[in-house]
Every structure is written in structure tokens, then in C-alpha cells.
């Protein structure tokens, strides 16, 4: 409940750019004491700035107003999935070899990450990006990805899975093949690691 109230405060501040405790209280139907409590919490987490004075139209002391920090942008809705899906669909219809573009993108990310590390390094890299990876031994190493961090995009453009294959292959310096994919309604993506290339 407290998190919902804080997110509602963030939304009001995003829409208005700044607001006082009174304005937030009226907009959200919460008591000023509750608003102050949430603002203190948001300020401690560096989502809201320290209050600054704003002159009122008439006589009297200026009222204090709050606004969002850049860090609060992460709390507001994002729609990267839809953008990526639209871009990939257009690339697929325009480019004869959109799969090659995804292979290059995955390989480039692996190279930017330092490439050719061990399985532990690759799993840590994937974990940091929300894949929830694990390693199984099934006649050779198999990387299991319990989460697809861009599932909505993959459902509309399944060739995006090539990005993951190129990424993992680049991180390991070994060929990788998909045995199962979440996008195909499998419970997890399973990527078999081939022999190290010479």
C-alpha cells in the first residue's frame, strides 16, 4: 500500500513537475502527514528533491514544493518492448538478412563486455541482465535461462532469440545452439554449449 502511494506521488510530480504537500494531499486524497511521510521516504531514496520555496500569489510565506530527481525516471512507465518490436518488425521487412543484424548485435555486446570468459563470467553477465541463468550438465554444458527479459518482443519477432545465441556464444567463444525457447512455450530457454573453437 505504501509503495502504491509513493508511486502515485511520483506520478503527480511527473505530471505537474512540482507540487506542495497541500497540492499532493488534495490530488491523492491522503492526509498531509501521510504525504510528508512518503515524501521523506522518496527523498531518502533520492527520488524526490529537497523542498524549495515557491512564492504564492498573495501575501504570506512561500510554500515549499517538491519535484522529482532524474533517478525517479526509473519509477515511471517505460515501453521499450513495443518500440523494439516495431523496430525489429520493420528491420525484418526491409533487410534481407535481419538475422545477421541480430547476430552482430549479440556479438558486439559480448565483445563490449570483454568476451571469451568462462561459464561463471557469462552466467554473471546474464544474471545482471535479468535472464535468471543456471547451468546444467546434460551430456555437456547447457545454459538454462528461466526468464526472457524481452519476451514481448520475442513473441512478435522470434528471430530476436538469435541475439541471445550470439551473445552467449561471444561471451564464451564457443558455438551455442537453442534446444528450447520460452517463446515457443517451453518453461525455459535451453542453450547447449558446443566445443571451444580453435
CATH number at residue 37: 1.10.10.10
Answer yes or no: do 131 and 43 share one domain: no
The set of residues, in sequence order, having a beta carbon less than 8 Å from that of 7 and lying 6+ positions away, is: 75
Domain end marker among 75, 104, 120: 75
**pLDDT of 164-184, one tens digit each?**
999 999 999 999 999 999 999
Count of the separate structural domains present in the chain? 2
Question: What letters, b where the CB count within 10 A reaches 16 and e where it falls short, cover 125-148?
Answer: bbeeeebebeeeeeeebbbbbeeb
- What pLDDT was estimated at residue 152? 83
Domain extent, residue 13, equals: 2-75
- What pLDDT was estimated at residue 99? 80
Answer yes or no: do 90 and 122 share one domain: yes
Domain presence at residue 128: yes
Domain end marker among 75, 108, 132: 75
- What pLDDT was estimated at residue 189? 95
Sort 74 into a burial class: Cβ within 10 Å, 0-12 / 13-18 / 19+: exposed
Answer yes or no: do 111 and 189 share one domain: yes
pLDDT, block means (10 residues), the chain with 198 residues: 85 94 96 96 96 85 92 84 75 71 88 83 92 92 93 85 92 93 93 79
- What pLDDT was estimated at residue 95? 60
**pLDDT of 131-146, one tens digit each?**
999 999 989 999 999 9
Altogether, the residues listed in the chain come to a count of 198
- What pLDDT was estimated at residue 172? 92
Domain presence at residue 182: yes
Domain end marker among 43, 75, 107: 75
Angle between helices 161-172 and 119-128 (to 10 degrees): 140
pTM of the predicted model over 0.75: no
- What pLDDT was estimated at residue 45? 96
- What pLDDT was estimated at residue 197? 56
- Cα torsion 5, 11, 12, 16 to 10°: value is 160
Find out whether 53 and 100 touch, Cβ atoms under 8 Å.
no
Amino acid at each position: 500500500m505504501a509503495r502504491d502511494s509513493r508511486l502515485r506521488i511520483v506520478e503527480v510530480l511527473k505530471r505537474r513537475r512540482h507540487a506542495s504537500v497541500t497540492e499532493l494531499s488534495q490530488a491523492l486524497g491522503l492526509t498531509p502527514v501521510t504525504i510528508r511521510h512518503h515524501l521523506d521516504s522518496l527523498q531518502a531514496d533520492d527520488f524526490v528533491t529537497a523542498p524549495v520555496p515557491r512564492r504564492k500569489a498573495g501575501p504570506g510565506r512561500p510554500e515549499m514544493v517538491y519535484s522529482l530527481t532524474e533517478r525517479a525516471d526509473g519509477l515511471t512507465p517505460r515501453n521499450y518492448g513495443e518500440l523494439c518490436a516495431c523496430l525489429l518488425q520493420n528491420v525484418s521487412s526491409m533487410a534481407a538478412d535481419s538475422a545477421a543484424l541480430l547476430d552482430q548485435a549479440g556479438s558486439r555486446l559480448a565483445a563490449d563486455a570483454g568476451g571469451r570468459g568462462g561459464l561463471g563470467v557469462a552466467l554473471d553477465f546474464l544474471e545482471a541482465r535479468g535472464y535468471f541463468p543456471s547451468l546444467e550438465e546434460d551430456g555437456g554444458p547447457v545454459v538454462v535461462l528461466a526468464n526472457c527479459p524481452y519476451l514481448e518482443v520475442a513473441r512478435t519477432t522470434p528471430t530476436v532469440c538469435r541475439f541471445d545465441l550470439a551473445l552467449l556464444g561471444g561471451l564464451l567463444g564457443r558455438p551455442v545452439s537453442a534446444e528450447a525457447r520460452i517463446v515457443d512455450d517451453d518453461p525455459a530457454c535451453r542453450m547447449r554449449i558446443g566445443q571451444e573453437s580453435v
